[in-house]
Chains A and B, each alone.
Chain A
Amino acid sequence: MRPIKLMGHERSLTQVKYNREGDLLFSVSKDNAASIWYSSNGERLGTLEGHQGVIWSIDVDPETHLCATGGGDLAIKLWKVETGKCVFTWDSPSPCRRVAFSADGSKLLAIADQVMGHVGTISVYDINHDEQSLTNQAEKPSLVIETAQGGSKANVAGWSLDGKHIIVGHDNGYVSKYDSKTGEVVESIQAHGIHNEEKNVSITDIQFAPEDRSYFITSSKDKCASLIDFDTFKILKVFKADAPMNTAAITPVKDFVILGGGQEARNVTTTAESQGKFEARFYHKIFEDEIGRVKGHFGPLNTVAVHPDGTGYSSGGEDGFIRVHSFDKSYFDFLFDAERTEKANASGNI
């Protein structure tokens, strides 16, 4: 496959995200402009200008009407996708690490980092989608969840399908389920730091099952990714890598997961040999086996997003590039022995 290289960012990518139909790709990086791209040809629709520094996170509502960004400049911004205009800005008490729309787009959560004397918080904002009054948003969050006393800060978070719960990945490797009305912890599980002896167990990404959000995957600096069921809050699968993982995504159509990461920038010798050797890792979701890698980046992968149709994926790297891939036929043809037998049985005997 021949990827499209997107070189619109000047610094390391922090997050890439597809909209619901997958035609647009949203990207943010450590520079101060978010970009929106047409995923099919890599043409840039435009940039979202307004942040004063690092943008850590971006999300788009299901209708591709509004998108939100959260930055290190203590700003959470809401944009109208069609025009690229910023319609509202919330102040964040500390750098905003993650923004995420609920599945219906009516709510937005934003994680404020636990730095500068601030207790880490997750704020939930109710979003006004009315076209005429987009600039009129509630200033105050409808709910603020503070990191519990002695607890570990939230790094990443996302919504359940019905919007009643928020799943949070913590710095200590725990994953918690919060009630999005009361802000209380419903359930908690240690998802990382239990599969090996790694010291840094910080959770770096959380992405949901594309089909129905009934399970999700977390990636961690502990070189693992965990697949967890939303209802039972049990770890279903563990994917083990040989480097800290920054991101993990679940593919539709095929039962795979894609992991991205790599050695920290400072730990890597930048010899010619290692250049372009940073890889997206493909694992089989059910069998947990690593089944392939895609080379191309010159630095660790910070973020990976899968096209909602399962036809391709995009990765954003520490090297400042986004690579948009479309899978070849062989990707769709690949089946494990057990899967092939299953398929053969399904197609019936003569």
Chain B
Amino acid sequence: MSSTVMGSWADAGDEFAAPDITVNPDGTKTVITYRTNAEGKKVKITQKIREVKVQEKVHPLIARRKNWKKFGKEINSPPGPDTSTTQLGEKVELKLNLSWKQIEKEEEENKQQKMSAQVMQTVRCRTCGGDHYTTKCPFKDTLGSNVAEADAAAAAATEAASTTASGKYVPRHLRMDANGNLPSKESRDDSTTLKISQLNTFVDEEMLRDELLSWFGPLQRVNIVRNRETGESRGFAYVSFATEELAQRALDALNGKGYHSLILHLEWSKKRKP
């Protein structure tokens, strides 16, 4: 069946693409449809459908009409609904309520509040961005004040990036990077990755994430290279930043600075050998 809708509604485009229907050997059908969700993302819906015979008590007139032969376009169709013209839709809700408008509004507001709450932070160090006072910053000497101005610009980027994170947990390897691409194992995009060496052995991922690099977050990946047997740090780490720009900032700000008694060395990561 064709499903071109005339006029301006055709502009809605591929929303109305015919469903992809496969008949499985066991008689069930798999229907794949696409739609766009509230966030503007394309959603693939896979439904498995089976036909069930239902017995119902009905008016005799209805019973008689049930046995009518099909006609017109349906003249040769077998009994039962045809998936090309008849589909089960998504569930919709009808919540009857006197104040449904207020409820909807409240939900909207809640959503916004949640979003802003994610961005908010009560105490923020001006040097490193950690949740402590600037004067108490553990590496105010390391980072110094020159970072501050650079950060002003970076802050915007950071926040923008952090807001895209939704409340649901997504495993790291499935999280999208700043470009909206899912990093794949085979071809890791190392364009935003820095290698940080000259790290003290007790520095762990958390310290890098929360202390040293928190101002340059969000971080895609922080990976300290460790001895396979002992688990001891080998003194260097690979850190993937959200953007190349952020990585550059981190490189500029931290390279050659002291951190836990050692002078840091930062460089662009080389593509790892296969």
Report B-chain residues with C-beta under 8 Å of the C-beta of A41: 80-81, 86
Check if A44 sits within 8 Å of B70, measured CB to CB.
yes
Determine whether A294 belongs to the interface, using a CB cutoff of 8 Å to chain B: yes
A294 to B95, CA, bound (A): 9
Per-residue contact bits, chain A 312-346, to B (CB 8 Å; 1 contact, 0 not): 00000011100101011011001010000000000
Is there contact, CB below 8 Å, between B100 and A3?
no
Q: For residue A327, which residues in chain B have a CB less than 8 angstroms away from its CB?
A: 94
Interface residues of B (CB under 8 A from A): 1-9, 11-12, 15-16, 35-36, 38, 40, 56, 58-59, 61-62, 65-66, 68-75, 77, 79-82, 84-98, 100-101
Measured in the bound complex, the distance between the Cα atoms of B16 and A298 in whole Å is 10
**Contact present for A46 and B75 (CB under 8 Å):** yes
User: A30 CA to B16 CA in the complex, in Å?
Assistant: 18
Q: Within 8 Å of chain B (Cβ to Cβ): is A1?
A: yes
Minimum Cβ distance to chain A for residue B8 (Å): 5
Cα separation A320 to B6 with both chains bound (whole Å) = 9
The residue of chain B having its C-beta at the shortest distance from the C-beta of A332 within the complex is B96
Query: Hey, which chain B residues are within 8 Å of A8, CB to CB?
Result: 1, 73, 85-86
* Bound-complex Cα distance A77 to B3 (A): 26
Q: How far is the CB of A48 from chain B (nearest CB, A)?
A: 6
Instruction: Select from chain B the residue with minimum beta-carbon distance to A317.
Output: B9
Main secondary structure of the interface of B (DSSP, over half): loop
Bound-state CA distance A33–B85 (Å) is 14
- Choose one: A270, A272, A291; the contact of B40 (CB below 8 Å): A272
Residues of B contacting A292 with CB < 8 Å?
A: 94-97, 100
Q: For A43, give its contact among B35, B59, B69, B81 (CB under 8 Å).
A: B81
Judged by a CB distance under 8 angstroms, whether A5 is at the interface is yes
Q: Mark A36-50, 1 if CB is under 8 A from B, else 0.
A: 011011111111110
Contact call A7/B84, Cβ cutoff below 8 A: yes
Contacts A10-B3, A292-B94 given; does A272 touch B36 at CB 8 Å: yes
The answer to the question of A12 belonging to the interface, with a C-beta cut-off of 8 Å to chain B, is yes
Closest residue to A280 on the B side, CB-wise? B94
| In the complex, chain B residues whose CB is within 8 Å of the CB of A21 | 59, 61-62
Residue with the highest number of chain B CB atoms closer than 10 Å, among A3, A266, A272, A295: A272
30 intermolecular pairs with C-beta atoms under 8 Å apart: A1-B93, A2-B92, A5-B88, A6-B85, A6-B86, A7-B84, A8-B85, A11-B5, A12-B9, A21-B61, A21-B62, A23-B65, A30-B6, A33-B72, A42-B85, A43-B79, A43-B80, A44-B81, A44-B82, A46-B73, A49-B72, A84-B71, A270-B12, A282-B94, A292-B97, A293-B100, A295-B92, A296-B90, A327-B94, A334-B97
Are B72 and A4 in contact (CB-based, < 8 A)? no
Chain A residues, Cβ within 8 Å of B73: 8, 33, 44, 46-47, 49
Q: Number of contact residues on A: which range applies?
A: 35 or more
CA distance A268 to B61 in the complex (A): 44
A-B contacts besides A21-B61, A41-B80, 10 pairs, CB < 8 Å: A23-B61, A43-B80, A47-B73, A292-B96, A292-B100, A296-B90, A296-B92, A298-B15, A318-B9, A334-B97
Q: Return B47 CB to nearest CB of chain A, in Å.
A: 11
A83 near B85 with CB under 8 A, answer: no
- Known: A5-B87, A12-B6, A24-B65. Contact between A46 and B92, CB under 8 A? no
Say yes or no for A70: interface residue by CB 8 A criterion.
no
C-alpha gap A237/B89 in the complex (Å): 33
Given A41-B81, A294-B94, A334-B96, the answer on whether A5 and B86 have CB atoms closer than 8 Å is: yes
The answer to the question of A136 belonging to the interface, with a C-beta cut-off of 8 Å to chain B, is: no
Q: What is the CB-to-nearest-CB distance from A225 to chain B, in angstroms, rounded to a whole number?
A: 18
The residue that A299 contacts in the complex, of B9, B36, B77, with Cβ under 8 A, is B9
Distance (whole angstroms) from the CB of B27 to the closest CB of chain A: 17
Chain A contacts of B98 at CB under 8 A?
289, 291, 336
**Chain B nearest CB, measured from A249 CB (Å):** 15
Partner of B7, one of A43, A47, A265: A265
A291-B100 contact, Cβ under 8 Å, with A45-B68, A298-B9: yes
**Which residues of B have CB within 8 Å of A12?**
5-7, 9
Instruction: Judge whether A10 and B92 touch: CB under 8 Å.
Output: no
Chain A residue, CB-CB nearest to B13: A270
Give chain A interface residues in 8-61, CB to chain B under 8 Å: 8, 10-12, 21, 23-24, 30, 33, 35, 37-38, 40-49
A12 to B6, alpha carbons, bound, how many Å? 8
Please tell me if the beta carbons of B71 and A45 are within 8 angstroms of each other in the complex.
yes
In the complex, what residue of chain B is closest to A83 when comparing beta carbons? B71
Which residues of A are found within 8 Å of B62, using beta-carbon distances?
21, 23
Residue in chain A with minimal CB distance to B39: A272
In the complex, the answer to whether A7 meets B3 with C-beta atoms within 8 Å is yes
Which of B11, B58, B62 has the most chain A CB atoms inside 10 A of its CB? B62
The reply to whether B92 and A265 contact each other, CB–CB distance below 8 Å, is: no
Across the interface, which residues of A come within 8 angstroms of B6, CB to CB?
10-12, 30
- What residues on B are CB-neighbors of A187 within 8 Å? none
Task: Give chain B residues whose Cβ lies under 8 Å from the Cβ of A325.
Answer: 92, 94
Are A319 and B4 in contact, CB atoms less than 8 angstroms apart?
no
B66 CB to closest chain A CB (Å) equals 7
Q: What 1/0 flags go to A271-298 for Cβ under 8 Å of B?
A: 0110110000010000001111111101
Q: Is A139 an interface residue (CB 8 A)?
A: no
B15 touches A275 (CB 8 A): yes
CB of A82 within 8 A of chain B? yes
Q: How far is the CA of A348 from the CA of B89 in the complex (A)?
A: 43
Give A49 to B62 CA distance when docked, in angstroms. Answer: 23
Q: Does A137 contact B (CB under 8 A)?
A: no
